[in-house]
Amino acid sequence: MDRELSIVALPGDGIGNEIFDEARKVLNWINNNSYYKLNITEELVGGSSIDEFGEPLTNNVLDKLRVSDAILLGAVGGPKWEGLTFDKRPERGLLKIRKELDLFANFRPAIVFDSLASSSSLKSEIINGLDLMIIRELTGGIYFGEPRGIEKLNESNYKGFNTLVYTSEEVRRIASVAFETAQSRSKKLCSVDKANVLESTELWRKVVIEVSKNYSDVELTHMYVDNASMQLVRDPKQFDVIVTTNMFGDILSDCASMLTGSLGMLPSASVGVNDLGGKNAMYEPVHGSAPDISGKSIANPLAMILSVAMMFKYSFEDSSMSDIVIRSVNKVLNNGYRTKDIFTDECKLLSTSDMGDAVIEELKNEKL
């Protein structure tokens, strides 16, 4: 029996369309070679939505996202729209999706493929075998806190301000997700905060400790964010699962991305619970819209393709299909194929489209 599912694709801006084209090849292959019937519709978000509708996310698109089984996002933003007010910029469309769908838990894995160890800026013995999960709280903290703004104090002086705030319930639910994730892995969880100077993260630490009492099999440690940044570079394999605030997670996950060799290799999942008790989820590469390479056919589509793998694991609860996609990507890398961002002299340089085709060729060798 076919399993029919609806996916809303938001290619977005910059390289978003290019990398999504390669993810669509994977989705089409799955449609043609499995019992899945994936109904994929493309909608506008970010700068492309501003150009068409004058706003970064329309209510019509938001309504479609609410009833979808999963969302795939390419990337948003670019210098073209930087002159707009904050509430009209492309990134506000992304933030609105996260908030309106309550996508509070962001999963950002940092996995080093063996064949890419040499692409990392760190020594191979430091990052070989790295398999790290950063869980970032995504709908609270300083990115959403009020009040915020810029005020004119006098003719020559202005004041910019933001509000960092967390409630105990916001911390409790992300901590529970992190502990459950740690239980399914190595049963180690590190909570990253700045509790020595920020009251909001003093509360964060207190609540995480309270939640830990329900997960006695998980070893909980705490680390200040400045030390965590250093430790990620010094000894990243000491970590298995990290849970942290919105802004700290944003920064630490980008830091972790370079352990793997390229931002172009990192997928992510943003997950919440809808009004019916099911999952809302959006999957996207960690990287941005990269307008400087847009249209040059050199963008790495693998993070987008690996985001498809995460979609099958977390939304469709099909680890087998997820593993097939990941395995195919790994085989492509083992064969020495590279896009420009991870290219070394002994490898074969591929365009964005050619890399997608290479993944499809490996998928053809898989048994479903």
Catalytic positions are 143, 194, 226, 250, 254
- β-strand pairing of 279-285 with 267-273: antiparallel
CA 273, 279, 282: angle at the middle one, nearest 5? 105
- Adjacent-strand bridge partners of 348: 337
Give dist(CA 44, CA 50) in Å, integer.
Answer: 9
The alpha carbon torsion through 94, 97, 100, 102 (nearest 10 deg) reads: -100
What burial letters (b/e) apply to 315-330, b meaning 16+ CB within 10 Å?
bbebeebbebbbebbb
Give dist(CA 356, CA 329) in Å, integer.
Answer: 9
